[in-house]
């Protein structure tokens, strides 16, 4: 594995650089959009939803930012990952390279953007007078899990997109539905105990909830919460790897 990585390291680095240049090509602010875009979205959501959902929610701006931060990262990583194979078809049809490198490069690019936004998020946490405790170290767990989850979903989507081009439009609809089901701008306190448990079936909500527990409530989620998140990530990643292994040689005939 290490020998294989050394062999394609240069290609991987060039793919990451290319993705960054392509994303911000002909823009005045360049990478500044990685910071400005989520802030503008947060501002819009705060103006729209505060009067309806945030009146009685403590630290609503941070609450909203948590949801928007996680969901935006998931959305961007998986959408760019879905098109990673098709965008690089001219490369892997002519040169033998591991096809997952294209997906990984997309994930690195979106992860860097996420880290930049995370810095702004912590500034908002400080402005909101929320204490920074040692428990913030625990945020490394959902971040690492989310990276792997995005890779797993990206593996599945990129393979499906090669065979079914309609996936691009279907996934846009699915993301909108998932956003409404992830409690980004509302709380789930008014739901019954069973209703609240149903939200835990949504892996994206688990990541959002974990951030809110640490940052706003200053509590560490239970062991079973950690295990549930790990199970979701393991299943999705295993399915993604299986799909790539099974259909790896068929991609060439459909691009």
Residue 56: Cβ within 10 Å count = 8
pTM above 0.85, yes or no: yes
Residue 238 pLDDT: 96
Nearest-10 crossing angle of helices 203-215, 60-82: 140
**Residue percentage of the chain with pLDDT more than 90:** 47
**Residue percentage of the chain with pLDDT more than 70:** 78
CB 78, CB 150: distance < 8 Å: yes
Residue 48, token pair as written in the block = 């729209």
Residue 228 pLDDT: 97
Residue 84 pLDDT: 86
Does residue 143 surpass a pLDDT of 90?
A: yes
Does residue 47 surpass a pLDDT of 70?
A: no
CB 126, CB 209: distance < 8 Å: no
Q: Is the model more confident about 226 or about 43?
A: 226
Contacts of 167 (CB under 8 A, 6+ apart): 82, 157, 160, 161
Between CA 41 and CA 69 the distance in angstroms is 10
Contacts of 145 (CB under 8 A, 6+ apart): 207, 229, 230, 233
Mean of the per-residue pLDDT values of the chain: 84
For 100-139, give the DSSP string. Answer: HHHHHHHHHHHHHHHHHHHHHHHHHHHHTT----GGGGGG
Residue 16 pLDDT: 72
* pLDDT classification of 98: cutoffs 50, 70, 90: confident
CB 145, CB 230: distance < 8 Å: yes
Least confident of 16-25, 56-65, 119-128: 16-25
Does residue 237 surpass a pLDDT of 70?
A: yes
CB 103, CB 84: distance < 8 Å: yes
Does residue 105 surpass a pLDDT of 70?
A: yes
Q: Which pLDDT tens digit goes with each residue over 168-224?
A: 999 999 999 999 999 998 888 888 889 899 999 999 999 999 999 999 999 999 999
């Amino acid at each position: 594995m290490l020998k294989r990585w050394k062999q394609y390291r240069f290609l991987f680095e060039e793919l990451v650089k290319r993705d960054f240049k392509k994303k911000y090509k002909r823009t005045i602010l360049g990478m500044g959009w990685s910071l400005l875009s989520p802030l503008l979205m947060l501002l819009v959501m705060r103006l729209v939803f505060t009067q309806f959902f945030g009146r009685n929610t403590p630290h609503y701006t941070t609450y909203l930012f948590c949801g928007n931060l996680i969901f935006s990262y998931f959305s961007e990583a998986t959408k760019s990952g879905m098109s990673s194979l098709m965008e690089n078809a001219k490369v892997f049809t002519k040169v033998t390279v591991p096809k997952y490198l294209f997906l990984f490069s997309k994930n690195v690019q979106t992860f860097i953007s996420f880290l930049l936004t995370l810095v702004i998020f912590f500034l908002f946490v400080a402005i909101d007078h929320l204490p920074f405790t040692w428990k913030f170290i625990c945020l490394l767990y959902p971040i690492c899990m989310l990276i792997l989850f995005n890779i797993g979903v990206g593996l599945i989507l990129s393979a499906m997109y090669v065979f079914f081009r309609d996936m691009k439009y279907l996934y846009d609809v699915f993301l909108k539905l998932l956003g409404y089901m992830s409690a980004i701008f509302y709380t789930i306190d008014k739901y019954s105990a069973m209703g609240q448990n149903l939200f835990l079936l949504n892996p994206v909500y688990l990541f959002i909830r974990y951030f809110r527990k640490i940052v706003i409530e200053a509590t560490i989620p239970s062991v079973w919460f950690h295990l549930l998140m790990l199970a979701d990530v393991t299943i999705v990643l295993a399915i993604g790897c299986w799909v790539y292994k099974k259909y790896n040689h068929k991609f060439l005939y459909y691009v």
